Amino acid sequence: MSSEKEPLFSAKNLKLITTPLGAQNPITIQVLGICSALAVTVKLEPAIVLSISVMFVTVFSNLIISLLRNTIPSRIRIIVQLVVVASLVIIVDQVLKAFAYEVSLQLSVFVGLIITNCIIMGRLEAFALGNKPWPAVLDGIGNGAGYGFILIVVAFFRELLGTGFLTLPGLGAMQVIPDVFYQWGYANNGFMILPPMALIVVGIIIWVQRSRNKDLIES
């Protein structure tokens, strides 16, 4: 077994991390995990915190389910998956409440909703149940990162255009657009803060992505 063991970061394994960032992005291509993604993108800080939480849960749930994959009877696998995911989410929730209470208030129910985030169930079903632990961990990292990437891009534009500030974890809100601009007549677009704009921003991201990569266009 050890003689033909493939290296930890072989080309195939690296691909597991890179494809979800682009051509197999969970949000814009696989249409997974949109539920909780859009509502927390008003500010950059909760978006970053939620991305890290989701990445933690995808990595560890992929790892655990992949380790258990030969012992889970397929009829009750959904319940088993839900229990594993729910326990991980409880850990995330308690850690956030202890160390980042302000952010956990902003995220409110969306931490709990990581349980039903389709990314996690989707990757467990599609990947972790049929693969070894290490590729499953890499797949978790890749998909968590692909999800977080879209979240952070959407939050960046919404907060920048909507308020002129950017909020980073640990740094607080920073004014990015200088006062001079406002004196010249620039105005914040308050519409960007409202929920529907998240959908439209994602729509535009999909448009940009598919214009650059013609293979992704739906017929």
Binding residues for another protein, rule: CB under 8 A, are 28, 31-39, 78-79, 82-83, 86-87, 89-90, 93-94, 108-109, 112-113, 115-118, 121, 194-200, 202-204, 206-207, 209-211, 216-219
Q: What minimum distance in Å lies between the beta carbon of 48 and another protein? A: 18
* Alpha carbons 104 and 153: distance in angstroms, whole number: 21
Q: What share of the chain is helix, strand, coil (3-state, %, to 5)?
A: 70, 5, 30
Q: Report the run of H or E that residue 160 belongs to, with start and end.
A: helix 133-163
Q: What minimum distance in Å lies between the beta carbon of 138 and another protein? A: 24
Judged by CB, which is closer to another protein: 94, or 175?
A: 94
Q: What minimum distance in Å lies between the beta carbon of 118 and another protein? A: 4
Judged by CB, which is closer to another protein: 178, or 190?
A: 190
Judged by CB, which is closer to another protein: 17, or 34?
A: 34
Q: What minimum distance in Å lies between the beta carbon of 55 and another protein? A: 18
* Alpha carbons 101 and 107: distance in angstroms, whole number: 10
Q: What minimum distance in Å lies between the beta carbon of 146 and another protein? A: 15
Judged by CB, which is closer to another protein: 176, or 194?
A: 194
Other residues' Cβ atoms within 10 Å of the Cβ of residue 19: 16
* Alpha carbons 30 and 146: distance in angstroms, whole number: 11
Candidates 149, 126, 173, 167; CA nearest to 51 is 149
DSSP assignment, residue 204? Answer: H
